[in-house]
Structure 1
Amino acid sequence: MSVNAETLRAWIEEDKPIFILDVRPKEQRDEWQIPGSIYLDAYKRLNEGDTSVLDEISIPENTEVVTVCAAGRTSQIAATELRKRGIKASSLEGGMKGWSLAWNTAKLSFDNFEIIQLRRTGKGCLSYIIASHGEAAIVDASLSPEVYEQILGENNLTLKYVIETHIHADHLSRSKQIAERNNVPLYLPTPNKATFTFQSVKDETVFKVGDITVKAIHTPGHTLESTSYLVDEKALLTGDTLFIDGVGRPDLKADTDETTAKAKLLYQSLQALLSLPDDTIVLPAHTGKPVDFDHKPLQATLATIQKNVAMLQMSEEEFVSTLLQRIPATPANYLSIVEKNIKGDFSDINPVDLEAGANRCAIS
């Protein structure tokens, strides 16, 4: 017996009493997990046929259990054994791969507009719907078009623009799909290598959404086209340039010299962003931790980030040197993901297989 990721997502969203039992190897658990799940180091013993390992976990009576592993095989062993013991248990279909598409939302409200933050809790991708007086723009879409269309409908919003901060390397962009399905223009920052039709975003391009403006600020470094968006002078969508607890990595698809050059560009871009008012709210495109179903936006002011991220207080030389020493492991499948995003077509593959794994865009 199994349960799919969307059903489990809905159960968590509805606060249904559920006991989520993670039986993966510890190194996988440490990299990524479902918020609120309970861990049991059972993978090896379950695969060796030793189901007595399940005696080591205490499960409350009359509680429904969902077991979790990487792909859904070992968790099925655990669920089967628990059902033999009279416990209502299911295995998460597709495991953590399937969970990578799970999502939840949070909302920020301002005088003239709202921003809905859509969070792929199983992947760390953050996308946004900017809404003002019945009009909307979507930025950095990473979920299926149906999710955004559902939220637009629930809020009586007419989609006006679909926008990207850069060509992504850790997830497949759904922006082109959404723009085509809803017959609205797709805007990408330049220069980029996209081979499909789009409208260009340049430094200081301005979008009108309802009663507000959204201004593009070219912030190269993570990629050469990376662009941030200042919403009504109050909120800043920073893509992978600036995170709540770190900065973007400059090394993807770059050799040593190119990485150093991009690190210098990133420093200058960050300085430009830090010149904005201290109370500007930063909303990045990713987070490195699972996103709780708490409806609390992942956000911080520029002043808070500058205080907490030591690299933002460094000179350019010190910043570049430190950044290059802290580059994390390369994201899985990033070259294939970039290729698909450049072509704007991933109809020939299963997105779950390509996108599986934790996010590694930030350096802190």
Structure 2
Amino acid sequence: MTVKTITVKEIANKIIRGEDLFIVDVRNQEEYADWRIEGKNVQVVNIPYFEVLDGVDPFLEQLPKEKENEIYVVCAKGGSSLFVAEQLEQAGFSHVYSIEGGMKAWSEHLQPVKIAELKNGGAIYQFVRLGKGCLSYLIESNGEGALIDTNRMTDVYVEFAKEREISIKYVIDTHLHADHISGGRKLAEQLGATYYLPPKDATEVTFSYAPIQDEDRIQVGHAVIEAVYSPGHTIGSTSFIIDDQYLLTGDVLFIDSIGRPDLAGKAQDWVGDLRKTLYERYKQLADDLLVLPAHFMVPGEMNDDGSVGTTLGMLYAKNHGLNIASEEEFRKTVTENLPPQPNAYQEIRQTNMGKLHPNEEQQREMEIGPNRCAVR
């Protein structure tokens, strides 16, 4: 019996299309509780691999009643799911698929989504990392491109730009990331591009970079990228306005939350900067700017086309983090109401500084787990 398989790209497309998915996650309960495949119409049950070695009969009540329904099985790396998928087929389920590469492959998949055309020609693309909640961007105009907040899976960006004959001139990080390893420096070296980093976040980096300061402007073809200093998540955090249409907020402002100020151990020091950015700096910007953050928290934040973004005016109306009148309450919310810190966040920060040099497998392990950049 040959078990059918499906790629994480196909799973991602199904989730973005809003299809109903039934997933059996066969990792242990602790791993499942920490992190799983999510989507608006995704149902997931946890049936640990070691509990079905003698068959799935004890778990039939958790499975679809109609045995013709599709079932997708996922494990950590794609091995155990093959065995469980075979067990499900032996139990009479006729449309069972093992997800190739498991949760490791899911964590690394990037789904490109075109946001819109730019007013002076060109386009802005969002790369959605569904398994990690990371969002990165390509601004393209007149054959030139700039990449912002890239992930370590650099081949995706290189191939995407090559297919569209885009010459990447600039690679930019909005801040020194703590939840994922940046691909910025590697891409810049590979493509001969300029790597920009806010200098206040770069005091400990071991490599050369181009500093990006408040009100600096970068020309990409006919498009203009303008820097807006916006500290709070980190002391150097910098947002970018693209052609007076789009606001890339990094990890300072999300669709349903705001950035946490504690990942460098300075929550009390930076909470005032965060409030000033959100309640003063951003307030001076146009309400019709489309906010494009560097992360999303839950599938409900995604639009129907799979993109993540909404207007600044809408966020001021609906995002609780932008509507806390009392400064004391705000301070309490963003210093006490925090999720667990990202896995290996200190090691990730040091890697992004150039102080650590983990191999590819170590980098995967450092990033495993959900996005935790936001205040709950």
TM beyond 0.5: yes
In 2, Cα distance between the equivalents of 1:326 and 1:105? Answer: 32
Q: Report SS of the residue matched to 1:96.
A: helix
How far off its partner does 1:292 sit? 6.6
Task: Give the counterpart of 1:46 among 47, 51, 56.
Answer: 51
Q: Which amino acid aligns with 1:13?
A: N
User: Map of 1:1-364 to 2, 5 A cutoff?
Assistant: 7-10=7-10, 12-13=12-13, 20-24=22-26, 25=29, 28=32, 31-35=35-39, 36-43=41-48, 46-47=51-52, 49=54, 51-56=56-61, 57-58=63-64, 65-72=71-78, 74-85=80-91, 87=94, 89-109=96-116, 110-112=118-120, 113-191=122-200, 192=202, 193-254=204-265, 258-270=266-278, 271-290=280-299, 295-313=305-323, 314-343=325-354, 346-350=357-361, 351-364=363-376
Q: Which amino acid aligns with 1:353?
A: E
Q: Which amino acid aligns with 1:328?
A: P
Q: Report SS of the residue matched to 1:248.
A: coil
CA RMSD of aligned residues (A): 2.9
Stretches of structure 2 lacking an aligned partner (at least 5 in a row) = none
Q: Which amino acid aligns with 1:139?
A: I
Structure 1 contact 203–218 (Cα < 8 Å) conserved: yes
Deviations 1:151-187 (A, max 9, x none): 2123332211000001111111111111111111111
In 1, Cα distance between the equivalents of 2:206 and 2:364? Answer: 23
CA pair 346-54 structure 1, distance change in 2 beyond 3 A: farther
How far off its partner does 1:325 sit? 2.3
Q: Which amino acid aligns with 1:28?
A: Y
**When the two structures are aligned, how many residues end up with a matched partner?**
360
In 1, Cα distance between the equivalents of 2:128 and 2:97? Answer: 25
How far off its partner does 1:297 sit? 2.0
Structure 1 contact 121–292 (Cα < 8 Å) conserved: no
How far off its partner does 1:214 sit? 0.6
Q: Which amino acid aligns with 1:124?
A: G
Deviations 1:304-353 (A, max 9, x none): 11111233222433321222221211111111111111107645241221
Percent identity between the aligned chains? 33
Q: Which amino acid aligns with 2:36?
A: W
How far off its partner does 1:78 sit? 1.6
TM-score by length of 1: 0.88
Structure 1 contact 164–175 (Cα < 8 Å) conserved: yes
Structure 1 contact 26–41 (Cα < 8 Å) conserved: no
Deviations 1:62-114 (A, max 9, x none): 66643113454653442120233464544334432331012212222232242
In 1, Cα distance between the equivalents of 2:11 and 2:101? Answer: 17
CA pair 295-199 structure 1, distance change in 2 beyond 3 A: same
How far off its partner does 1:273 sit? 1.3
Q: Report SS of the residue matched to 2:108.
A: coil
Structure 2 contact 152–183 (Cα < 8 Å) conserved: yes
CA pair 118-145 structure 1, distance change in 2 beyond 3 A: same
